[in-house]
Amino acid sequence: MKRYVVAITGASGPIFGVRLAGELLKSAEVHLIMSSNTLPILLDETGIDWSGGTPDKVKAHFRSEQVFFHDDRRLDAPVASGSFRTDGMFVVPCSMKTLSGIAQGYAQNLIERAADVTIKEGRRLLLSPREMPFSALHLENMLKLARLGVTIAPPVPAFYHKPRDLDGVINFLIGKMLDSFRIDHDLYARWGE
């Protein structure tokens, strides 16, 4: 079974990370890390309340025993070690603070450490920066990471698949992220199909 790390940072758009984890769980084990700022944003934007008893609430939400929750302060979690093999990591959404920490190799929390491990082990890493407009500092950090092979995938929607609602837009974005890992899905109609 495949194994992925999904990190959700304290930026607007945590629904992207939640939906991505749900799609991955259809065929893989998922290790979910959330920054401490994520829970109130998740509640405010989606109504999902994972505060207090988060690991149990995460398992119940996904109805899966293949999802493992890790607090971002737990630097002793398995995903902090290069010897813990994964098939890659997604940081969705990725705050500019987290992007900067990853670009500089700062690794002050579990998200940054797991990303650092992913890079050093030569595994796939996708960051979905959720900010707009980008400053020159943001772009320089993204360029630095892209040159290391990190996929930079901001949540930029397309409309050629004619989404009927917000779910259709979200499905397209999650589908494009899965495409970058060559993970099969049927989230949107592809161009020409």
Locate the domains of the chain by residue range.
2-149
Dihedral class, residue 39 (left if φ above 0, else alpha if ψ from -120 to 50, else beta)? alpha
CA distances 42 to 9, 17, 144, 171, Å, are 10, 10, 29, 18
Question: Would you state the pLDDT for residue 7?
Answer: 98
- Chain CA centroid to CA 44, Å: 19
Report residue 28 as tokens: 């893989």
Question: Would you state the pLDDT for residue 105?
Answer: 95
pTM beyond 0.85: yes
Q: What is the DSSP letter of 40?
A: H
Question: Would you state the pLDDT for residue 53?
Answer: 83
Question: Would you state the pLDDT for residue 52?
Answer: 87
What is 2-149's CATH topology? Rossmann fold (3.40.50)
Report residue 113 as tokens: 């450490």
Q: What are phi and psi of 27, to 5 degrees?
A: -145, 10
Strands across the sheet containing 67-71: 67-71, 28-34, 2-8, 89-94, 125-129, 151-152
* pLDDT tens for each residue of 97-122: 999 999 999 999 999 999 999 999 99
Residues of the chain with pLDDT under 70: none
Question: Would you state the pLDDT for residue 190?
Answer: 85
Dihedral class, residue 122 (left if φ above 0, else alpha if ψ from -120 to 50, else beta)? left
